[in-house]
Amino acid sequence: QQQVKQSPQSLIVQKGGISIINCAYENTAFDYFPWYQQFPGKGPALLIAIRPDVSEKKEGRFTISFNKSAKQFSLHIMDSQPGDSATYFCAASKGNRDDKIIFGKGTRLHILP
Amino acid sequence: KAGVTQTPRYLIKTRGQQVTLSCSPISGHRSVSWYQQTPGQGLQFLFEYFSETQRNKGNFPGRFSGRQFSNSRSEMNVSTLELGDSALYLCASSLGPTGNHYEQYFGPGTRLTVT
């Protein structure tokens, strides 16, 4: 019930295309859903985050879509660029100060030039 | 503002040895979390410290331990190293406990290789 399942494991998209990464969770107590981006040799960095009171959040070319009833959320990267090639992690947490954030296993995204 | 720093960046150890990794958080951050990253398992939570107290612990054996000092700097120790401990160890700092949705800032990690 604590898991966050992420798919696909890897993704290849043409430059200019839309990259879509999906995550699913079981625990309805989760109330914060961030996405992290990690480049080779670097630690992950927060990309965008959403709370379940909204169904969509957009920041530039990055959009999170959230479906509370299906317990799913996804990251859409519009007009994907080679510089977006990285590993992306979804995550979830419950807002309890003594609780931890749960990460998905990651998606390795490669944008073809 | 300086980011999270981790030392050393690379480490090679032999099975059975022990290792200590260090993390200096961003100035003013009081929470430090440690993660193990491997290709197959992704990011796995080790433990989190806030104001020198361990707030949470992941499902790792007791060989993995940590501590936090009064200046918020943190160390993690792995004793009796096993081949399976080879991984990238990431430290992340935040203003407050991650459970309260404070943004985590990750360091570049320490790449540990156990031979």
In tens digits, chain A (113 residues) has pLDDT values of 568 999 999 999 999 999 999 999 999 989 999 999 999 989 999 999 999 889 999 999 999 999 999 999 999 999 999 999 999 999 998 877 667 888 999 999 999 99
Residue from A109, A113, A91, A112 nearest A39 by CA: A109
| A73: Cα within 13 Å, side-chain hemisphere | 29
As given in the structure block, the two tokens for residue A42 are 């670097």
Is residue A51 a contact partner of residue A82, using CB atoms and an 8 Å limit? no
Distance from CA of A79 to the nearest CA of B (A): 27
Interface probe for B, chosen from A6, A97, A103, A105 (most Cβ of B below 10 Å), is A97
A11 burial level (CB within 10 Å; 0-12, 13-18, 19+):
middle
User: Could you give the CA distance from residue A52 to residue A18 in angstroms, rounded to a whole number?
Assistant: 23
User: Could you give the CA distance from residue A30 to residue A40 in angstroms, rounded to a whole number?
Assistant: 29
Which residues on B lie below 8 Å from A52 (Cβ)?
A: none
Q: State whether residue B110 sits within 8 Å of chain A by CB.
A: no
User: Could you give the CA distance from residue A71 to residue A19 in angstroms, rounded to a whole number?
Assistant: 20
Q: What is the mean pLDDT of chain B?
A: 94
Question: What are B16-55's pLDDT values in tens digits?
Answer: 999 999 999 999 999 999 999 998 788 999 999 999 999 8
